[in-house]
Structure 1
Amino acid sequence: MTTLKSFDPVDGTLVWEGEVADSEVVSAALLRARKAFAHWGSLPVETRTKAAERYRSALEVRKDALAETIARETGKPLWETRTEVASMIGKVGISIAAQAERAGEKRTDMPFGQAVLRHRPHGVMAVLGPFNFPGHLPNGHIVPALLAGNTVVFKPSEMTPATGALMAECWAEALADHPHVFQCIQGGRETGEALVAGAIDGLLFTGSAGAGAHFRRVFADRPDVILALELGGNNPLVAWDGDVDEAASVVVQSAFITTGQRCSCARRLIVPDTAFGSALVEAVAALADRIVIGAWNETPEPWIGPLISDAAAAAAKARFDGLVTRGAQVIRPFTGVEGRSAAFVTPAMLDVTGVFVPDEEIFAPVLQVSRVPDFDAAMEAANNTRFGLSAGLVSADDALWERFLVECRAGVVNRNRPTTGAAGSMPFGGLGESGNHRPSAYYAADYCAYPVASFEATDASGNAGALNGKLRP
């Protein structure tokens, strides 16, 4: 038996351990899911809705335990993990509304009957979860998939198995009368590969752009499998004018929240090469110096915690050092925190003006600053990426905002608010290497079911008359 373990990045203590699902276990889970789909997919949506509501109630009962579990596995402060659990709870109502609005049944009277639009589930959905929001992000796939009538086999990130196990407890309670509709399997890469290679009808994935590119290749010859990818981004934030302190706050919240471990974090700050731009960069650096960094259970509560692991910190440091080697000027260094584990790092800033840097996402609190001569150059810099997840503009100029909206290629485009801000009642997703044109959040209902268009009448009358005068005697 192979054992999987997760550890608190704050101090390395063991959080969870359990058995890894091998290929035989994965195949058995998929077979059970296939058998369960025949019944689950045929039930009225009202029945599935009640199950989702029971799941919501189970989350409510366990919200404190779930928030602490997420904090222990990710190192995120409790204020943030409580917010994550609240988003999970809220997702149920949002998904129910989206299912009715975007994937419900619609009828239109026609001269000889009705045109009817229905939606049907795909079948067995595989969901692969990320470590940064181990509850909220897979939850955003799972709830709409089950509401639509699919069955789900879920593999949490190997970094956060305890969170997945708690979610599975909640679904087990909600689906007590419907066994195998939701199953959670634990493991790392090999378990994930077995799941992806199995008899699935859809893969719903949140993770890195590199993994997303791999899945595109894997499923190139499997057009029957729906593929919904929510990936990362090398996101630009153009800060052009306004109050320097307010703008700095937007930048810091965009770049450094969750220790930079959000796919929508600003990675690139684009400012005018003016007194405003220089003052803003200084204000951002000064504000970053004041960020409280600490363990999830400390008092006073920190704003950010560690990266997910020592290895993640080492990888980010190597990327930072690579930029310095290319000629980037250090504004704030990428360093550890004295007296803490190696997963703790400080927010870092680099001036990369005039330096060729790779178009890559550094999943850490690293902000690259570019100074440009005019707004034309700002737009060119913002769009100079193969990604297209989120972007932002800090400006009081309505004309600049209208231009930014038209020209900026991203799925989430914010004004005078952090790039990480997104409403659950709106779609969430990106272009290019950031996704595959199947946004999640409110639009998850779109990829969890396929439309069936029908033209129908209660009997066949009226068809013969359509041929009168058009046939040979």
Structure 2
Amino acid sequence: MSGSVFIDGVWRAGAGPEAVSVDPTTGEIIWRQAVADGADVVDAVAAARRAFPAWADRPRDERIAILRRYKEVLTARTADYAQALSRETGKALWETKAELGSMAGKVDASIKAYEERTGEHENAMVFGRAVLRHRPHGVMAVLGPFNFPGHLPNGHIVPALLAGDTVVFKPSEETPLAGQLLVEALEAAGVPAGVVNLVQGGRAVGQALIDQEIDGLLFTGSAAAGAFFRRHFADRPDVILALELGGNNPLVVWDAGDAEAVAALVVQSAFITTGQRCSCARRLIVSDDAAGRAVIDAVAALAERLVIGPWNGGEEPFMGPLISDRAAAMALAGANAMGGRTVRAMAPVDGLSKAFVSPGLVEVTGLEIPDEELFAPLLQVRRVASFDEAIAAANATRYGLSAGLISNETAHWEHFLRRIRAGVVNWNRPTTGAAGTMPFGGLGTSGNHRPSAYYAADYCAYPVASFEAASVSDTLGDIKGLRA
């Protein structure tokens, strides 16, 4: 590999400015390349367009065989790829190994989803048959995020390739190495030239990509970016948008018993991946009584025990740094501006880089807090008087990605499930719990009703319904109102 741009099966240097990727744990530069410019983007889309007919016409069994080789490549490279992810994102090695496992597992899950949701189905009719088929859209632009820079774009790319689409992939500018390694694995698996193309860069490269004649945009990222894309494509209904966005996710605790057991679920919901998951709990809602206060105290106590440190340190960490020093500074400023009563401060961590922060809890009972997603390990706590008030508080958001209930009462769960507005709703499990064999997506500002994971097959191909007869038959007798 030589260069940061992969177009029509060839690696080359980008024609844009030089960019770097920095290890947030140490500040070390781990990737330095000239990124793409507008001309590179034009070339990448053109290559994908040229490659599309042959790839779409290729027997699906052959596309499946290539993707299964890709799975084998990922499995063989897991150790090195996981270390690269940990260096680039700061995430613990146990977490990046799990990310590689999810990437490999996506292949078989996507094959099964394609067969079940978008394969070919037929019914016998009097005249012949009715057939439902699915066809690929064409050239898909995939914009990846930094928090799961392998797993999340992989979740768009694999089903797109399986359906017969071609891809132009722009990773997050924060994690270019992760994107490069993903494309290298696809290249090693034998994906034909032009079927997958890579353009590295920041906002200007992303803008150039969405300005091209693409057929779809598959995006995982912030709600603000999603809103921009909706506006941008308002007059281009031919472009399919699949937007997987953020959330201001609630976690309700009610009649749950053991406060320490509850705290374990809360901590895993709110602070895993240093709070950098779109499904992390941002708002904890508890009863305004001794039981609720016990939960708050237990969460604060457990947060104190969490190991915060580098992925390759002497002690295995629960969480590492935020993606950058800048992200940490913005998170701390946002936490300080929130107001409320500090239960446990989110603060810099002594002896570590500026990207490290400790998990925080702030009580906001009785306060009006902006309905925004703070992408960091900060949990707002609100006490309410009744379960109905808890549900109302949980739904008091324009987002609708994930929500959770911790309770020993089945009746509470059944009521919560009927009333809560979210696409992922969990009971006595972390809000971050999700399976690739189920849909993943949300309502409101959290998406555009095109969930990913198992349902990604739906937005990678469109249905074609046909009535078919093998020969011409006389249907004059079927025509009503015909003169003799």
Q: With structure 2 as the length reference, what TM-score do the two structures score? A: 0.96
- Equivalent of 1:355, from 338, 347, 367? 367
Helix, strand or coil for the counterpart of 1:281? helix
The equivalent of 2:125 in structure 1 is 110
Tell whether the 8 Å contact from 1:66 to 1:166 is kept in structure 2 after alignment.
Answer: yes
Structure 2 counterpart SS, 1:41: helix
Q: Deviations over 1:86-120 (max 9, x none)?
A: 00010111001101111100000011111100000
Which residue of the partner structure matches residue 413 of structure 2?
401
Which residue number in structure 2 is paired with residue 170 of structure 1?
Answer: 185
Q: 2-side partners of 1:401 and 1:461: how far apart? A: 59
Name the amino acid aligned to 2:173. Answer: E
Among residues 119, 123, 135, which one is paired with 2:138 in the alignment?
A: 123
The amino acid across from 1:358 in the alignment is P
Deviation at 1:464, TM superposition (A): 2.2
CA distance in 2 between counterparts of 1:27 and 1:360 reads: 35
AA matched with 1:391? A
Residue of structure 2 in register with 1:181 after alignment: 195
The one of 324, 338, 345 equivalent to 1:333 is 345
Answer yes or no: is 1:193 the counterpart of 2:193.
Answer: no
Amino acid at match of 2:198: C
| Corresponding residue for residue 6 of structure 2 | none
2:468 is the alignment partner of 1:426: no
SS of 2:470's equivalent in the other structure is coil
TM-superposed deviation, 1:43: 1.3
Aligned to 1:457: 469
For 1:472, the equivalent position in structure 2 comes to 483
* Amino acid in the other structure paired with 1:353: T
3-state DSSP class of the match of 1:350?
Answer: strand
Equivalent-residue separation in structure 1 for 2:397 and 2:478 (angstroms):
56
Alpha-carbon distance in 2 for matches of 1:18, 1:99: 37
In 2, Cα distance between equivalents of 1:194 and 1:357: 36
The CA distance in 1 between the partners of 2:276 and 2:312, in whole Å, is 19
Cα pair 1:393 1:414 within 8 Å, conserved: yes
Asked if residue 205 in structure 1 is aligned to residue 216 in structure 2, the reply is no
State the AA in 2 paired with 1:3: E
The separation in 2 between residues aligned to 1:17 and 1:447, in whole angstroms, is 34
Q: Distance in 1 between matches of 2:283 and 2:336?
A: 17
Aligned-residue offset at 1:246: 1.0
**Distance in 1 of aligned mates of 2:104 and 2:477:** 56
| 2:442 partner amino acid | G
What is the correspondence of 1:316-331 to structure 2 with a 5 Å cutoff? 316-324=331-339, 328-331=340-343
Quick one: which amino acid aligns to residue 429 of structure 1? G
Alignment correspondent of 2:251: 237
Secondary structure of the residue aligned to 2:180 is: helix
Structure 2 regions of 5+ residues with no counterpart? 1-15
Q: What do residues 251-288 of structure 1 show as CA deviations (whole Å, max 9, x unaligned)? A: 00000000000000000000000111000000000000
Contact 1:9–1:307 (CA<8 Å) still a contact in 2? Answer: yes
Q: Match of 1:33, SS? A: helix
1:422-457: CA deviation from partner (whole Å, max 9, x where unpaired): 011000000000000000000000000000000111
State the match for 2:387 in structure 1: 375
- 1: distance between equivalents of 2:307 and 2:153? 29
Aligned residue number for residue 386 of structure 1: 398
Question: Distance in 2 between the 1:204 and 1:246 partners?
Answer: 38
Identity value in percent:
61
Q: What pairs up with 1:299-318 in 2 under 5 angstroms?
A: 299-318=314-333
Query: Which residue type is aligned with residue 372 of structure 1?
Result: V
By how many angstroms is 1:462 displaced?
4.3
Code of the residue aligned with 1:62 in structure 2: it is R
The reply on whether 1:81 has 2:93 as its aligned counterpart is: no
Alignment match, 1:145: 160
Large movers: runs of 4+ above 4 Å: none
1:219 is the counterpart of 2:230:
no
Cα displacement (A) at 1:463: 2.0
2-structure distance, mates of 1:452, 1:19:
43
Q: CA deviation at 1:359?
A: 0.2
**Are the equivalent residues in 2 in contact too, given 1:125–1:200 (CA < 8 A)?**
yes
Question: Does structure 2 conserve the Cα–Cα contact (< 8 Å) formed by 1:391 and 1:412?
Answer: yes
Give the structure 2 partner of residue 51 of structure 1: 66
CA distance in 1, matches of 2:261, 2:441: 27
Q: Which residue of 1 aligns with 2:302?
A: 287
- Residue in 1 aligned with 2:5? none
The answer to whether the 8 A contact 1:175-1:181 is kept is no
Aligned 8 A contact 1:251 1:284 in 2: yes
Residues in 2 aligned to 1:413 and 1:148: alpha-carbon distance in whole angstroms: 29
1:409-448 pair list within 5 angstroms:
409-448=421-460
- Equivalent-residue separation in structure 2 for 1:440 and 1:340 (angstroms): 36
TM-score by length of 1: 0.98
CA distance in 2, matches of 1:66, 1:198: 31
1:97 pairs with 2:109: no
Distance 1:332 1:215 in 2: 37
How many positions carry a matched residue from both structures? 468
Q: In structure 2, how many angstroms separate the alpha carbons of the residues matched to 1:343 and 1:219?
A: 35
Does the CA contact (< 8 Å) of 1:238 and 1:271 recur in 2? yes
Q: Counterparts of 1:94 and 1:77 in 2: how far apart (Å)?
A: 26
Which amino acid counterpart does residue 38 of structure 1 have in structure 2?
P
Let me know the Cα RMSD of the aligned residues.
0.8
Deviates more, 1:135-144 or 1:457-466: 457-466
1:19-38 paired onto structure 2 within 5 Å: 19-38=34-53
The 8 Å contact of residues 85 and 135 in structure 1, kept in 2 or not, is answered as yes
- CA distance in structure 2 between the aligned counterparts of 1:17 and 1:98, rounded to whole angstroms: 38
Deviation at 1:323, TM superposition (A): 0.9
Distance 1:144 1:43 in 2: 15
Deviation readout 1:134-189 (Å, 9 max, x if unpaired): 0000000000000000000000000000011111111111235x211001110001
